Structure 1
Amino acid sequence: MNTNDLKIFEAVAETGSFTKAAAAMFTVQSNVTARIKSLEEEFGAELFSRTSRKVELTAAGKTLMQYCKQISNLIAEAKSDVQSSTRVSGSLRIGCIETTMALKVPEMINHFEEHFPDVDLTFKSDMRNALINDVLNFNLDAAFVSGPINLSGLDQIRIREEQLVIVTASKGPNMEELLAKQPVKIVVFGQGCIFRARLESWLSSKGIVHYKSTVLNSIEGIINFVEAGLGMTILPEEVVSQYYAGRKIISNALDKQLGTMITVLIFRQDKTQSAALKAFIDMYSKLDKSEIIAPLNEAQSAGKRGKLKIRETKKMP
């Protein structure tokens, strides 16, 4: 077995086809078949279930896939560390929820690149559970999510505490009138969003279980709909006060239990970490958070220089 055998194995798993894997690896199908057979003999287990339509990983194959991802990451990190023993370089894949993506990522890039200009940062926004799974499955190096997290295989550091508020239109019914009108209208991100979950929990505490949801995929869209009187929402107070202070909306306080959100940075409990990941974790562990979370307008240019890449999904927090 060699690393190329594992790459062929990954190609078959990703494409679901020996033919497509051969094309992706610039080889012939007979070689792919031979290499997979060799791996199955070496591990003493069938790695794929084969049908006339598709090829799928078996339970043993899924186990091997996890190790393949670890091996690939270790090789990439080893090359980066060996090639640059004096400067931190390489790449990092960081996950975050939508509010972090839209409002905080430029600040993170600006701050990190000042200290580590040779590191490529790729950001991805998604739902909390999806981000956690991506970190566990080696698709992300780390992620900012609401915490605390209690999962085997993950470490975390506390980043900050935020206060959430219910946002309503300033021109329109007050909170009591909004809650009295049935069905209550809410404007939210999709299922899996921490803000939506908090709003639904708050409504439930008021004895309201039936409500009409308008689902949008951007903060700006949600603010527009709330301002137009089409429903209420929950967002971080800082987001509302710093970036939408001039809008015709009102922030309504929540009790401490529902109104407090703690953000943590999660990462795997690997025995080895790349120099780039160590630098990223150390920066958030040691620096005062006020140094990192600077006003957005002071960091707008961050995404225009350096090596910033942003891959944003359609899913939200």
Structure 2
Amino acid sequence: MNTNDLKIFESVAVNASFTKAAEEMFTVQSNITARIKNLESELKIELFTRTSRKVILTEEGKIFLTYSRKINSLANEVKELFSAPDRLSGILNIGCIETTMALKVPGVINHFTNQYPGVTLNFSTGTSIKLISDVLNFKLDAAFVVAPIFNPELSSLVIKEEKLSIISSVNQRDLGHLGIQPVKIVVFDQGCSYRQRLETWLSNQGIFNYQCTILNTLEGIINFVEAGVGITVLPEELIRKHYDHRQLNSHPLEGDLSTLTTVLINRIDIALPKTLQMFKRYFENDAVIANAS
């Protein structure tokens, strides 16, 4: 068993495919298959259940994945221990909800990569539910999601508390007559915290029948709301900083629905690589956060 075998195993586990793992590891499928068989023979367990479409981790495989991650994390930690901070290198896979991507990520990329040019930041977006799942399944090193987080396997660092508003087209000056006609909303898919807030608000107004237009980009939602397709919920700061010039009206929410807290999560059962430690420090220091906003 060596660390390369463990990386191959992890790639198969994440991709649920020998073919995709071979592409990711820049090798042939037969090599991937042989290395997994050798691992299974050495460990005397079956790591995967093979089907015609994909491979699935067995219960023993799930346990071994946790140990594999720890071993590789420790190996990287040893390498980083003897590396000067300015020579820090590697890849960080970070997940973001769309609004965090718009508000925080550009500043972070600029400051972090200037200080650590050897580190590649690989960002991807999704709903909080999807991002939490990806962190738990080792597909992401960390993710910006919406609090609260109750999973004991995850550590969370508070990043920001945001004020939320209902956003409409400029032609909709108030929300007092929403119930008179079919209500239309423009939202991300199920699992989006902003969508949940809007649906809860509608329910509190006695509105239970509404038509959803579902989009997967923030820019798309802004465009549709501006065109009068429907209303949405987004952070006030986002609208103020990036869309103040657009034909939009902002209607502040009140009470428990009016605020949303963003946290940065990561698994607690593996040692943090130095790259992630340095990344998290950017949000532990208020001055740095202000500069990156």
- What TM-score does the superposition give when structure 2 sets the normalisation length? 0.85
Give the secondary structure class of the aligned counterpart of 1:87.
helix
Take 1:227 and 1:244, find their aligned partners in 2: how far apart are those partners?
10
Residue matched to 1:147: 147
My pick for the range that moved more, 139-148 or 7-16, is 7-16
Change over 3 Å in CA distance of 1:161–1:81 after alignment to 2 = same
Residue matched to 1:116: 116
Residue matched to 2:187: 188
How many residues of Structure 1 are paired with residues of Structure 2 in the alignment?
291
AA at the equivalent of 1:45: I
Is the radius of gyration larger for structure 1 or structure 2? 1
Residue matched to 1:298: none
Shift of 1:98: 0.9
Relative CO higher for 1 or 2, CA cutoff 8 Å, sep ≥ 6? Answer: 1
Shift of 1:122: 1.5
| Residues 96, 123 of structure 2: 8 Å contact kept | yes
Change over 3 Å in CA distance of 1:232–1:274 after alignment to 2 = same
C-alpha offsets along residues 1-54 of structure 1, whole Å, 9 cap, x if unaligned? 333443454465546459x86996757949945x54553344343223346776
Take 1:22 and 1:231, find their aligned partners in 2: how far apart are those partners?
43
Structure 2 runs not aligned, ≥5 long: none
Give the secondary structure class of the aligned counterpart of 2:216.
coil
Structure 1 runs not aligned, ≥5 long: 295-317
Shift of 1:86: 4.7
| Residues 22, 32 of structure 1: 8 Å contact kept | no
Matches within 5 A, 1:99-248: 99-172=99-172, 174-181=174-181, 183-248=182-247
Change over 3 Å in CA distance of 1:258–1:31 after alignment to 2 = closer
AA at the equivalent of 2:137: N
**1:253 pairs with 2:252:** yes
C-alpha offsets along residues 219-248 of structure 1, whole Å, 9 cap, x if unaligned? 222222222222111110011122221222
Residue matched to 1:78: 78
| Residues 173, 249 of structure 2: 8 Å contact kept | no
AA at the equivalent of 1:145: V
Change over 3 Å in CA distance of 1:156–1:48 after alignment to 2 = closer
Residue matched to 1:2: 2
| Residues 18, 33 of structure 2: 8 Å contact kept | no
Matches within 5 A, 1:14-53: 14=15, 16-17=17-18, 26=27, 29=30, 32-33=33-34, 36-50=36-50
AA at the equivalent of 1:184: V
Take 1:120 and 1:160, find their aligned partners in 2: how far apart are those partners?
24
| Residues 21, 32 of structure 1: 8 Å contact kept | no
Residue matched to 2:280: 281
| Residues 108, 292 of structure 1: 8 Å contact kept | no
Take 2:17 and 2:247, find their aligned partners in 1: how far apart are those partners?
52
Take 2:276 and 2:24, find their aligned partners in 1: how far apart are those partners?
33
CA RMSD, 1 decimal = 3.1
AA at the equivalent of 1:60: E
| Residues 96, 131 of structure 1: 8 Å contact kept | yes
**1:268 pairs with 2:281:** no
AA at the equivalent of 1:267: N
Shift of 1:275: 1.8
- What TM-score does the superposition give when structure 1 sets the normalisation length? 0.79
C-alpha offsets along residues 87-109 of structure 1, whole Å, 9 cap, x if unaligned? 35123222111122234311111
Change over 3 Å in CA distance of 1:285–1:198 after alignment to 2 = same
| Residues 70, 138 of structure 1: 8 Å contact kept | no
Give the secondary structure class of the aligned counterpart of 1:176.
coil
Percent sequence identity is 47
Residue matched to 1:300: none
Shift of 1:142: 1.6
Take 1:117 and 1:146, find their aligned partners in 2: how far apart are those partners?
29
